[in-house]
Structure 1
Amino acid sequence: MPEKSEILIVSSDGALGASLAEAVKRETDIALAIHSGGIEAAVDATALSRASVLVAEIDATRRDHLLALQSLVARGAGRPIVVLVDACTDAVQRWFFQIGVRDLLRRPAAGADILAACRRLLAGRLDPPSDYAEVTSFLPAAGGVGNTTLAIEAAMQILGAHPDTNSVALVDLDLHSDACADFLDLEPRLDFAEIGDSGERLDPQLLEAMTTRHASGLALVAAPSVAGQLRELQGAAVLRLLDVVAAAFQHVVIDLPRMWHPWTDGILVGSDRTFIVTDMTVPGLRFARRIADQVNGRLTLKAPASVIVNRFERRFFPGAGLRRGDVAQALDGVLAGEIANNYQLVREAIDQGVPLQYVKPGNNISMGMKRILFARQQEERRAS
């Protein structure tokens, strides 16, 4: 008989525990454990080790509750956690996702709703891919720096190195434009209204229906924009989307918007690599440096965010504009590399709706992105 998955609820509210127990009692594959001391009392290590998913009820206005939650997440060693909370600020919500909370439910929450949230997390936990996706995010330092072009090029380079089915997904989260779809001449099919406010209706089958496939094999996950309409999404819906995408693909490339959203921090924290894209101008270098310093100082990333200087032009003579030494000095310690300026190639590729390699194989933009993406592997090969 298969072992039951155990939900551990951390709450001093007896009525909440009873409600969840009532919902669970008919389930043959779920067990329930209750830590009645609440978030203030340390959870027993043995009970924590048995749990498959955690549910914690907290007061988001109390600093001791927030610190206790952070400790619980750390001790949970990657176990998915659902937080039950009253209305909280965007800043607190961002912090929840930053520390690793996987779902938020507003109090009072019915036992059936809590159980459904736990089942969604368990579905992802119990049926993961052999290797969870490597996530690479591209964040523009300013508008018009070529972030989408480089995100697409990165996805194509990764696809070239890993040409398997469901190898690479490109996720366009710049919700006020569907540039990725336009650049690749594809139809954006993602419908956030269909997947639900918290992404609760999204599963692998629905994701497949909302994914557009390029002839190269690249999968595009993008929503159509509506002129003159601003769209703001719940952080839970965006992070749920990325969870499902990351479970279905080996590599995920994310095109982020310039505007910071409540869910941006959570995406950066969950990314394996973060590239800040800028251009070869003094303001552009300053913007990128500032963003890199703030992101690296404020968030605990898997790897420090670094900067890609797009439209780089090599200049040898003083007085002819910025030179490579100026770029290296301005971005000392955070420079990932440069991408050559090749406006004509980019414009032709966009007009044709094809990747850069289709217009000119081995072009300088593609080679520059390849060097940046695979620099670590190249260094390891040389060292061995």
Structure 2
Amino acid sequence: MITYQQQPPGSPETLVAGDGDDYIAPAPRVSVQAFCETAETAAAVQAAAGDRRMIKAHVRVQMGGMAAATEAYRNSPTPNVIMLETESRGDAILASLDELAEVCDAATRVIVIGHYNDITLYRELVRRGISEYLIGPVNPIDVVRAVSTLFHAPSAKPVGRIVAVVGAKGGVGASTIAHNVAWAVARDLKLDAVITDLDLAFGTASLDYNQDPPQGIADAVFSPERVDTAYIDRLLSKCTDHLSLLAAPATIDRVYDFTPESFDPVIDALRATVPCVVLDVPHLWSAWTKRVLVGADDILVVATPDLASLRNAKNIIDMLKGARPNDRRPLYCLNQVGVPKRPEIKPPDFAKALEDEPVAIIPFEPQLFGTAANNGQMIAEVASTHRIAESFRHLAQLLTGRSESKKARPSRLPPLIGKLFAR
């Protein structure tokens, strides 16, 4: 039996990146220096520096407020962004800003954190070129949003959404689930999607989709200077009208060692043009896999009902919750449930240990999955009405924050009217 959890509408868990005003774009590679007057604000800025959206920014927090900033920049260049906290009022703030302007580069953007809600002051700050005025106390997410807004038009909705799927251990079927979820996103939600195979040595996406593309993700990763949206578009292999594949070479003629930032250009280019990008993340732990997971908009951890999966899933989810305090917690599903004669950890026990319910429980169906794999097809192609296919559709909806339009209930009036006119 397949079961899944539906998040209640309007709950905090349903607020996901990409849903209108809740989306905060990642900050670019900029330097940010904050001069605070209170320990609370300094802590908030420091916490914001650890947010996944600020991973490319270089943030430095100091105390002393506006006076310390003015003194610091007399003999040193100013950064891209300066954040200034002040407990002063109107004219005192403007006087301090005038002193800072004498030593501040014209291109530097300034965010002021004040403690008084004064519309007259706000208008004067805007007239003098201040980029943003925040009223304290501020939260880390307020700081992240303020920095992000400086470099991204607030009215421009994001194009892409990054969904990462990773296995709690090897052999749990994470790649199969990633491929089927991407298929459901494209076919059932009618959303343009790209499935990206990050397992360059042993990836199976090209086999599962019955594709043999001459180029793929390796071409982009090993030539980062060439990566842009047009180049990535040329590397994509078309699977369906709405689904494309960025395939792995699946060869071992070279060693695939990557720096933490190796996949950043590829993911950024995909995010800029594709509404949904599903990352098939291999089961290995390195700097680049951690960076990919932390930077994703949503994460699905795939586990089987055994002790090793339970331990690993808990470790992965706990780590990601700590690294992404302002995001929805990673989701997880149980796969290959009900293997004959295999002792298993029951889903309620699994949920108790992880302090969260699985979003899907997928039964062990070797005939169905084996047929699909050998034919290079998805589950929905082999058995479109099967409950497992419905489970993948549910996961697609949950991970993209979208839902299918409800089908209208058939009315009894048309047949009745037809019978009347037939007389």
Q: TM-score range by the shorter chain?
A: 0.5 to 0.7
What displacement does 1:158 show?
1.1
Out of 344, 354, 359, the position equivalent to 1:331 is 354
What displacement does 1:268 show?
2.2
Find out whether 1:255 has 2:280 as its counterpart. Answer: yes
State the partner residue of 1:207: 232
Looking at structure 1, the residues matched to 266 and 108 of structure 2 have their Cα atoms a distance apart, in angstroms, of 24
State the partner residue of 1:141: 168
Out of 259, 263, 267, the position equivalent to 1:242 is 267
Looking at structure 1, the residues matched to 371 and 254 of structure 2 have their Cα atoms a distance apart, in angstroms, of 29
Larger Cα Rg: Structure 1 or Structure 2? 2
Find out whether 1:351 has 2:374 as its counterpart. Answer: yes
Alpha-carbon distance change, 51 to 314 in structure 1, aligned in 2, over 3 angstroms:
farther
State the partner residue of 1:155: 182
1:141-168, Cα deviation, whole Å (9 max, x unpaired): 111100110001111111134325xx10
Looking at structure 1, the residues matched to 30 and 332 of structure 2 have their Cα atoms a distance apart, in angstroms, of 42
What displacement does 1:320 show?
6.5
Alpha-carbon distance change, 320 to 180 in structure 1, aligned in 2, over 3 angstroms:
closer
What displacement does 1:172 show?
0.9
1:50-94, Cα deviation, whole Å (9 max, x unpaired): 669xxxxxxxxxxxxxxxxx99x84861279xxxxxxxxxxxxxx
**Partner AA of 1:77 in structure 2:** V
**Partner AA of 1:162 in structure 2:** L
**Partner AA of 2:365 in structure 1:** N
Looking at structure 2, the residues matched to 245 and 290 of structure 1 have their Cα atoms a distance apart, in angstroms, of 29
- Greater relative CO (CA pairs within 8 A, separation 6+): 2
State the partner residue of 2:306: 281
5+ residue gaps in structure 1? 1-6, 12-34, 53-69, 81-121
Out of 335, 351, 363, the position equivalent to 2:386 is 363
% of aligned pairs identical?
A: 20
Counterpart contact for 2:199–2:281, Cα < 8 Å: yes
**Partner AA of 1:292 in structure 2:** I
Alpha-carbon distance change, 300 to 320 in structure 1, aligned in 2, over 3 angstroms:
closer
Looking at structure 1, the residues matched to 181 and 276 of structure 2 have their Cα atoms a distance apart, in angstroms, of 11
What displacement does 1:342 show?
1.5
Out of 128, 131, 147, the position equivalent to 1:77 is 147
TM-align CA RMSD: 4.0
Looking at structure 2, the residues matched to 41 and 78 of structure 1 have their Cα atoms a distance apart, in angstroms, of 12
What displacement does 1:194 show?
5.5
Counterpart contact for 2:221–2:263, Cα < 8 Å: no
Counterpart contact for 2:294–2:320, Cα < 8 Å: no
Aligned residues: 286
1:1-60, Cα deviation, whole Å (9 max, x unpaired): xxxxxx98789xxxxxxxxxxxxxxxxxxxxxxx763579982669799669xxxxxxxx
Query: Which SS does the other structure have where 2:359 is aligned?
Result: strand
**Partner AA of 1:363 in structure 2:** H
The 5-angstrom pairing of residues 1-384 of structure 1 reads 37=76, 43=82, 74=144, 77-78=147-148, 130-163=157-190, 167-188=192-213, 189-190=215-216, 192-193=218-219, 196=222, 199-215=224-240, 217-227=242-252, 229-300=254-325, 302-313=327-338, 321-333=344-356, 335-375=358-398
Looking at structure 1, the residues matched to 149 and 258 of structure 2 have their Cα atoms a distance apart, in angstroms, of 25
Looking at structure 1, the residues matched to 146 and 305 of structure 2 have their Cα atoms a distance apart, in angstroms, of 44
What displacement does 1:352 show?
0.7
Looking at structure 1, the residues matched to 385 and 106 of structure 2 have their Cα atoms a distance apart, in angstroms, of 51
Query: Which SS does the other structure have where 1:139 is aligned?
Result: strand
Query: Which SS does the other structure have where 2:334 is aligned?
Result: strand
Alpha-carbon distance change, 218 to 41 in structure 1, aligned in 2, over 3 angstroms:
closer
Looking at structure 1, the residues matched to 296 and 376 of structure 2 have their Cα atoms a distance apart, in angstroms, of 28
State the partner residue of 2:49: none
What displacement does 1:136 show?
1.1
Looking at structure 2, the residues matched to 223 and 74 of structure 1 have their Cα atoms a distance apart, in angstroms, of 34
TM-score (norm 1): 0.63
Counterpart contact for 1:269–1:299, Cα < 8 Å: yes
Looking at structure 1, the residues matched to 354 and 32 of structure 2 have their Cα atoms a distance apart, in angstroms, of 45
What displacement does 1:211 show?
0.6
State the partner residue of 2:17: none
